[in-house]
Structure 1
Amino acid sequence: MSTCARAALDLREPLAGTAATARTWLLIEQPGPWGARALTASRLDAALGAALEAAAEGT
């Protein structure tokens, strides 16, 4: 858990705006709308989206 989130919990503050620390980011630009699961609910190639989602599992 990030330091900010831990401090907010210790102070019993709301966790809005806190997030886990990420070591790696993958930015993908694709045209059109996407759903809640952007990799598989978008115009991105379905096989590629599924492969990326599987690779991200547990990260």
Structure 2
Amino acid sequence: MLLVVIFENNCQVTQRRFSIRLGVGLVTLLIAGFSSYLGIRKVLKIEPFDIFRG
């Protein structure tokens, strides 16, 4: 009986750890994607004349 309780708690902890890792990974990808989008958008707005006008 005690072994079943320990096993159930272990499965819940493992599932919770997986959920936390998945959530952190998704948030990280979301932040990286959004910052990349902002950077690319900023670079595409630059006109060549602004860079090379001596």
Which TM-score applies when normalising by structure 1?
Answer: 0.24
The structure where helix makes up a greater share of residues is 2
Higher relative contact order (CA 8 A, sep 6+): 1
Instruction: Tell which structure's C-alpha radius of gyration is larger.
Output: 2
* TM-score after normalising by structure 2: 0.26
